[in-house]
């Protein structure tokens, strides 16, 4: 270096290898070897932090310098005389600062994704998401329509499988052009993305910078619905419109679907292993279902129902109940953890759980009621139109509409020797 009047013996250049990266720096190692061999009497660096970013490296460098009798270290930013304590101190401080900067830098990189998530920015990579263009922020309107339709149908009680069947029949394409599967649709409907929200580690962290396709409240309800553990039991093939809606007039048990020996569909009060009914009620499915559907369609046009459904609870309620469920679940987890740590005993744990679990059940019921209300959205007062379309509706949708109007129907025993449909056997309990 001319300024110092030193002759440059050798240049040691490690291109693009950060001292911090931990990657091997061959030129740096060669320089240390040369120091060790006593070939150098001074080291000049561009900037001290280019030399060392790990204190451990710096100490190794000091040791070598001492060993080799090298006392001069120059840098463009300021010379450090390693033969003095002050010089070594300065080098250490600079090294420590450089290390901290490197640490911060890698933390910054690691945090970048989290910050992006927090700020609702778009994370890089990945394939195009259904509903959005490849830029991940422009809504593809044709697909947004499908998402909104599916969300509404799911909230109205239709099964994912049934919606997928319909989409495939209509030759609606997925993002990859393949057939719709329930898992595919489930993933899309559960994603925070379509409600214009950013998700990080399964939690909604921010409003996103892209526009929503459905509302956040709809998303909350869909999440509540799809994560409901009881949902699995709803998937029983619904060839029977009135499953879970009929009660035995003798023992009060819920009737179950069971075809007669000849294959005709029927509901029975089942007795025997796994059943707790009295076994004394059987009712043919076909005429009863027709009767119930007519009754439901009639109810849909009744002024009483319209009155009961105006004052319909809206999205803020859904959010409130969802928050209640989330809160209670967190409390249950905490209690379980306390029990696990032996901070509370088994009986205390059980006692504390009961009221919280009751809150969860209540909140779920409320959410369920909102979902039933949705099932009827647009149907009240339009029974004629609905009647025309009724047979084309999937069974799960039909069931959702019936269940939205009818709480249950009590079935009395049939009259002996009477083979016609006997309206007198049935006592409906309407919801509204």
> What is the closest distance, in whole angstroms, from the C-beta atom of residue 420 to Zn ion in the complex?
23
Comparing CB distances to Zn ion, the nearer of 58 and 256 is: 256
Least distance (Å) between residue 271 CB and Zn ion:
8
Is 351 within 8 Å of 382 (Cβ atoms)? Answer: no
Choices 81-89, 227-235, 264-272, 412-420 (CB under 5 A): range interacting with Zn ion: 264-272
Cβ distance to Zn ion smaller for residue 216 or 279: 279
**Which range in 21-29, 75-83, 261-269, 382-390 contacts Zn ion by CB under 5 A?**
261-269
* Cβ distance to Zn ion smaller for residue 96 or 251: 251
Q: How far is the CB of 252 from Zn ion (least distance, A)?
A: 7
Q: Identify whether the C-beta of residue 189 lies closer than 8 Å to the C-beta of residue 286.
A: no
Residue 73 phi/psi, 5-degree rounding, is -130, 120
35 versus 281: smaller Cβ distance to Zn ion: 281
Q: Taking the complex as a whole, how short is the minimal distance between the CB of residue 428 and Zn ion, in angstroms? A: 18
Binding footprint of Zn ion, residue count (CB under 5 A): 7
Minimum CB distance to Zn ion smaller for 144 or for 288: 288
> Of 126-134, 187-195, 251-259, 409-417, which part binds Zn ion (CB under 5 A)?
251-259
In the complex, least distance from residue 386 CB atom to Zn ion, rounded to whole angstroms = 33
Tell me whether residue 394 or residue 413 sits nearer to Zn ion (CB atom).
413
CA distance 101 to 20: 10
Segment near Zn ion (CB under 5 A); pick from 125-133, 258-266, 267-275, 418-426 = 267-275
Residue in 116, 175, 226, 251 binding Zn ion, rule: CB under 5 A: 251
Helix axes 285-300, 395-405, angle to 10 degrees: 60
CA angle 181, 233, 350 (to 5 degrees): 125
Nearer residue to Zn ion within complex by CB, 51 or 248: 248
Report in angstroms how near the CB of residue 412 gets to Zn ion at its nearest: 11
Give the footprint of Zn ion on residues 152-181 (CB under 5 A): none
With respect to Zn ion, which residue has the nearer C-beta, 95 or 277? Answer: 277
Shortest Å distance, C-beta 283 to Zn ion: 11
Which residues within the stretch 268-327 sit at the binding site for Zn ion (CB under 5 A)?
A: 269, 277-278
Confirm or reject binding of residue 409 to Zn ion (CB under 5 A). Answer: no
- Shortest Å, Cβ 244 to Zn ion: 15
Query: Looking up tokens 């790990």, which residue turns up?
Result: 54
Per-residue contact string for residues 211-250; x = within reach of Zn ion by CB under 5 A: -------------------------------------x-x
Which region among 105-113, 158-166, 253-261, 419-427 touches Zn ion (by CB under 5 A)?
253-261
> Restricting to residues 19-58, which ones interact with Zn ion according to CB under 5 A?
none
Q: How far apart are CA 336 and CA 328, in angstroms?
A: 12
**Closer by beta carbon to Zn ion, 105 or else 280:** 280
CB of 289 to Zn ion, least distance (A): 20
Closest approach of Zn ion to the CB of residue 246, in Å: 10
Taking the least distance from each CB to Zn ion, the nearer of 167 and 285 is: 285
Residues lying near Zn ion in the complex (CB under 5 A) = 248, 250-251, 253, 269, 277-278
């Amino acid at each position: 270096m001319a300024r110092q009047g030193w002759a440059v013996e050798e240049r040691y250049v490690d291109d693009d290898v950060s001292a911090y990266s931990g990657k091997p720096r061959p030129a740096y190692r060669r320089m240390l070897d040369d120091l060790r061999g006593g070939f150098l009497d001074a080291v000049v660096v561009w900037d001290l932090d280019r030399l060392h970013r790990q204190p451990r490296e710096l100490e190794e460098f000091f040791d070598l310098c001492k060993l080799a009798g090298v006392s001069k270290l120059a840098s463009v930013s300021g010379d450090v005389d390693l033969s003095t304590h002050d010089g070594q101190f300065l080098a250490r401080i600079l090294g420590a600062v450089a290390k901290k900067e490197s640490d911060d830098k890698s933390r910054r990189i690691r945090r970048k994704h989290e910050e992006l998530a927090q700020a609702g920015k778009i994370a890089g990579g990945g394939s195009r998401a259904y509903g959005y263009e490849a830029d991940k922020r422009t809504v593809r309107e044709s697909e947004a329509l499908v998402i909104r339709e599916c969300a509404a149908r799911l909230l109205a009680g239709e099964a994912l499988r049934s919606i997928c069947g319909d989409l495939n029949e209509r030759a609606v394409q997925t993002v990859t052009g393949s057939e719709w599967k329930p898992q595919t649709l489930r993933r899309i409907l559960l994603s925070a993305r379509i409600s214009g929200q950013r998700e990080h580690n399964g939690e909604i962290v921010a409003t996103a910078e892209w526009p929503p396709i459905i509302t956040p409240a709809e998303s909350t309800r869909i999440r509540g619905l799809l994560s409901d553990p009881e949902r699995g039991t709803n998937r029983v093939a619904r060839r029977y419109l009135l499953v879970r809606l009929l009660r035995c007039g003798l023992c009060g048990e819920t009737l179950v679907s069971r075809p007669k020996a000849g294959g005709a569909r029927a509901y029975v009060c089942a007795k025997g292993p796994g059943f707790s009914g009295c076994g004394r009620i059987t009712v043919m499915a076909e005429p009863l279902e027709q009767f119930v559907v007519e009754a439901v369609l009639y109810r849909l046009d009744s002024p009483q129902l319209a009155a009961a459904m105006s004052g319909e609870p809206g999205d803020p309620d859904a959010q409130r109940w969802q928050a209640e469920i989330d809160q209670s679940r967190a409390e249950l987890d905490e209690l379980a953890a306390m029990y696990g740590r032996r901070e509370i005993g088994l009986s205390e744990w059980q006692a504390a759980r009961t009221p919280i679990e009751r809150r969860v059940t209540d909140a779920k019921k409320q959410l369920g009621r909102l979902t039933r209300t949705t099932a009827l959205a647009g149907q009240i007062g339009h029974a004629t139109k609905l009647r025309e379309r009724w047979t084309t509706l999937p069974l799960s949708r039909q069931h959702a509409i019936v269940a939205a109007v009818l709480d249950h129907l009590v079935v009395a025993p049939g009259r002996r020797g009477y083979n016609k449909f006997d309206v007198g056997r049935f006592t409906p309990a309407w919801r509204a």
